[in-house]
Amino acid sequence: MSQLEKVWFITGCSTGFGRQIAEHAIDAGYKVVVTARNVEQIQDITAKSEANTLALSLDVTNQDQIDRAVAKTIEKFGRIDVLINNAGIGYFGSVEESVEEETRKMFEINFWGLMHVTNSVLPHMRSQKSGHIINFSSIGGLTSFPTLGYYHATKYAVEGISESLAQEVAPFNIHVTLIEPSGFRTDWGGRSSVKTETAISELKESFVGQMLNAVQRGAGQEAGDPTKAAQAVIKVVEADKPPLRLLLGEAAYKAATYKFTNLLASIEEWKETTINADFKK
């Protein structure tokens, strides 16, 4: 099949990356299923190409809605070729003071919601012997910063399961790609996140308090361009050999290379102790 015959299914399209990707995919000529919790917020995206698009209500924490959305997609287009798992939220707070109710809600969206959508789409991709699953992670799925501990936990989970999934579905010609952005001018640090201000004086005066203040000051001023991110996602989908991981943003590149350079150095420093933990051959 030609590239433009592919059917895209995108979660979290009301704002940010999801909206940009949906608009760019539609403009490129793809068939696109655009989803959001409030379908009224995405009607404008699909209005310009109603024959090749479908706007659906979808809360990724609601299995019935997931099943209905996938069924309606198959009913209209007959297949799903590209799944963009974009829906997600952020949470800021020290590990010690984070509110369990909020962090569990974030896990339900960022991890379990992503996996429930994936598992609902996978049977169709396996039967057609092709597909591409794009899981939005973060540079925070590779390296960690203060005040984002539980957010990192959700993204590290997405990273780990995506690596396993990529190996399991490769025989069916299904690709998996993790998208790992740094700071982009989306709603992630604003409406799409929750913050718990620190009340512990020692933390308030430390980097924790500074980080929380910096997030608020920097919202809307991030270096990343969502339009360029959307273009990068389309490039990955159209690639003959898509990567397992795609970093987005200079800050993501610098943070990842810094972490793994130092990680490798530490591994080598402790190499003898590591190897000597085995039984003697």
Q: What are the catalytic residues? A: 137, 151, 155
- What is the 3-state secondary structure of the chain? CCHHHCEEEECCCCCHHHHHHHHHHHHCCCEEEEEECCHHHHHHHHHHHHHHEEEEECCCCCHHHHHHHHHHHHHHHCCCCEEEECCCCEEECCCCCCCHHHHHHHHHHHHHHHHHHHHHHHHHHHHHCCEEEEEECCHHHCCCCCCCHHHHHHHHHHHHHHHHHHHHHHHHCEEEEEEEECCECCCCCCCCEEECCCCCHHHHCCHHHHHHHHHHHHCCCCCECHHHHHHHHHHHHHCCCCCCEEEECHHHHHHHHHHHHHHHHHHHHCHHHHHCCCCCC
- Tell me the sheet residues that pair with 43: none
Distance from C-alpha of 19 to C-alpha of 7, rounded to nearest angstrom: 16
